[in-house]
């Protein structure tokens, strides 16, 4: 099965894609467009062995380009915010056959592609086109479609501490993950997702777009996250759910009180959170504001997104936990490959049909990450007696204070309990004697006040002394990555604490 098969099996007159101020696109129109664009790509000699870099603004055309082009070749969505040098690196690293941009694009990706001799294809969107519709001028040929084992999507890992790794994901991987999400969230053709996630990232592509298509539902594709427009989009889209990272949820929460009527008039069936740890106080506030369950899930690019999830009612959901295995097999493993029991701390490992076969051209990374027959996530955690997993931190983020190991997430959660704290990120700072010590960056709630000493005393009442941050920085904003995740690694350098 390939993505096209998911589109083909739905009633032709059912709505698939929507966008602000645009007419909707049906499944029938999406299928016709898919075959039309597949013919255009095939006429250009682009097939399953080739890679198509896609640099488009967030929105319905980006969603459609992924759903359509992946049926012919490997799609490689790139962050439109990259600079020319970054585009040059990724285009070269991917060995891209062509670059897809919008007509007249001023993206530095175009200059990078020209220097590398990569073909540039421009899609055109007619003024009155429905959401997601575009044209690819030029000759057409009989479409040559990929197969289930063909690579549909390649993404780079974040590369915070080393060269980014290429993660190839097949149609089989992606569809398995989409089906897992459908089962977890009980998605149907009646569901509509309000997408605010970037579509160059696995979260938006699979959790929002592909799972909705696989369920026969619809996706309202926004231009990207905008807390000021979220509630207006909600009124226009009338969604049943949305999925986001915690920082987005917090920005939405800040505007929820003044949009209470919009929330009441457009009730959500649930809210989903993934890609970073959701602080329990934020979960509680979301559920109170929206009067619906908040479902926290655990995901990674290498797993085509979802690995574990809390359940919809009447199933259990535990604040502070990322739920139970939700598709793949998941367990906690010790350093020698021993599977650990409930309550024991180790590395989270997974295996299943949604998991990549391995990084591309990186035998060293594969030997480390695919050991003992499992994919090693790099996350430290525990499984409780009910089979619920709790992530205690990235192994590479664990703070080693003179031999005492501190999980930053544990400190984050305590600091977040303080009524004045909006966001908290705990991180390692260099120490001449101990090697590392504990520090934290704090963003206070609007109108709230708290001093460093007050926050240290608050943490000290709940944590062992060696876990209490020695330095607490009250800042206006904590750096975020391209997908809205708070950045822990490198924070000491950004705050001038390390060279």
Query: Of 237, 265, 293, which residue constitutes the final position of a domain?
Result: 265
Tens of pLDDT, residues 31-45: 999 999 999 999 999
Query: Of 207, 234, 265, which residue constitutes the final position of a domain?
Result: 265
* 333 within domain boundaries: no
The reported pLDDT for the residue numbered 480 is 82
What is the chain's mean pLDDT, rounded?
A: 94
Whole domain around residue 35: which residue ranges?
3-265
The reported pLDDT for the residue numbered 403 is 77
* 36 within domain boundaries: yes
Query: Of 265, 285, 302, which residue constitutes the final position of a domain?
Result: 265
* Dihedral class, residue 440 (left if φ above 0, else alpha if ψ from -120 to 50, else beta): beta
The reported pLDDT for the residue numbered 158 is 65
Where does the pLDDT of residue 171 fall: very low under 50, low under 70, confident under 90, or very high at 90 and above?
Answer: very high
pLDDT at 322 over 90: yes
* 310 within domain boundaries: no
Q: Are 270 and 298 in contact (CB under 8 A)?
A: no
Q: Around Cβ 165, how many Cβ atoms within 10 Å?
A: 20
Tokens 């026969």 — which residue?
216
Percent of residues, the chain, with pLDDT higher than 70? 98
Stretch among 143-152, 181-190, 280-289, 458-467 having the lowest mean pLDDT: 458-467
* 14 within domain boundaries: yes
pLDDT at 310 over 90: yes
Between these two residues, 275 and 484, which has the higher pLDDT value?
Answer: 275
* 152 within domain boundaries: yes
Which residue, among 303, 310, 382, has the nearest Cα to 347 in the 3D structure?
Answer: 382
55 and 199 both lie in a single domain: yes
Question: 384 is written with which tokens?
Answer: 């409780």
Q: Are 382 and 343 in contact (CB under 8 A)?
A: yes
Which residue, among 229, 198, 185, has the nearest Cα to 63 in the 3D structure?
Answer: 198
* Dihedral class, residue 442 (left if φ above 0, else alpha if ψ from -120 to 50, else beta): beta
Kindly report the CATH number assigned to the domain that includes residue 477.
Answer: 3.30.300.30
Kindly report the CATH number assigned to the domain that includes residue 100.
Answer: 3.40.50.12780
Where does the pLDDT of residue 316 fall: very low under 50, low under 70, confident under 90, or very high at 90 and above?
Answer: very high
Domain count, the chain: 2
pLDDT at 162 over 70: no
The reported pLDDT for the residue numbered 160 is 45
* 419 within domain boundaries: yes
């Amino acid at each position: 099965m390939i993505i096209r098969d998911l589109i083909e099996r739905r009633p032709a007159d059912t709505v698939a894609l929507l966008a602000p101020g645009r007419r909707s696109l049906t499944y029938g129109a999406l299928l016709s467009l898919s075959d039309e664009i597949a013919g255009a790509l095939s006429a250009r000699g682009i097939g399953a062995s080739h890679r198509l870099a896609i640099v488009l603004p967030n929105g319905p055309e980006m969603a459609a380009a992924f759903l359509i082009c992946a049926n012919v070749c490997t799609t490689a969505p790139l962050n439109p915010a990259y600079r020319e040098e970054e585009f040059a690196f990724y285009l070269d690293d991917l060995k891209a056959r062509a670059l897809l941009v919008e007509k007249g694009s001023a993206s530095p990706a175009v200059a990078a592609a020209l220097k590398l001799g990569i073909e540039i294809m421009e899609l055109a969107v007619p003024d009155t086109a429905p959401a997601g519709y575009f044209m690819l001028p030029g000759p057409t040929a009989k479409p040559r479609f990929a197969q289930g084992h063909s690579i549909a999507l390649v993404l780079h890992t974040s590369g915070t501490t080393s060269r980014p790794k290429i993660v190839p994901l097949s149609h089989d991987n992606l569809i398995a993950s989409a089906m897992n999400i459908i089962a977890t969230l009980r998605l149907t053709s009646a569901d509509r997702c309000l997408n605010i996630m970037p579509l160059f990232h696995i979260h938006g592509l699979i959790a929002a777009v592909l799972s909705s298509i696989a369920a026969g539902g619809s996706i309202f594709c926004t231009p990207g996250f905008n807390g000021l427009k979220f509630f207006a989009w909600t009124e226009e889209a009338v969604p049943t759910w949305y999925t986001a990272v915690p920082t987005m949820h917090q920005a939405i929460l800040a505007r929820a009180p003044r949009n209470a009527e919009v929330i009441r008039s457009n009730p959500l069936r649930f809210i989903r959170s993934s890609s970073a740890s959701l602080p329990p106080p934020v979960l509680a506030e979301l559920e109170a504001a929206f009067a619906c369950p908040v479902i926290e899930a655990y995901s990674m690019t290498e797993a085509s997104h979802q690995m574990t999830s809390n359940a919809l009612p009447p199933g259990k959901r535990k604040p502070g936990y990322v739920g139970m295995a939700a598709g793949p097999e998941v367990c906690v493993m010790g350093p020698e490959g021993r599977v650990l029991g409930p309550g024991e701390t180790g590395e989270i490992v997974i295996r299943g049909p949604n998991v990549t076969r391995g990084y591309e051209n990186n035998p060293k990374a594969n030997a480390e990450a695919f050991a003992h027959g499992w994919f090693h996530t790099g996350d430290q955690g525990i499984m409780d007696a009910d089979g619920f997993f709790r992530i205690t931190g990235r192994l590479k983020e664990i703070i080693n204070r003179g031999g005492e190991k501190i999980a930053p997430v544990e400190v984050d959660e305590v600091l977040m309990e303080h009524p004045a704290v909006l966001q908290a990120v705990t991180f390692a700072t260099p120490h001449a004697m101990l090697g590392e010590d504990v520090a934290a960056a704090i963003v206070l709630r609007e109108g709230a006040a708290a001093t460093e000493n007050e926050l240290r005393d608050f943490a000290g009442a709940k944590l062992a002394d060696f876990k209490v941050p020695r330095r607490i920085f009250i800042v206006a904003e904590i750096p975020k990555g391209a997908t809205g995740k708070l950045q822990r690694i490198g924070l000491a350098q950004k705050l001038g604490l390390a060279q």
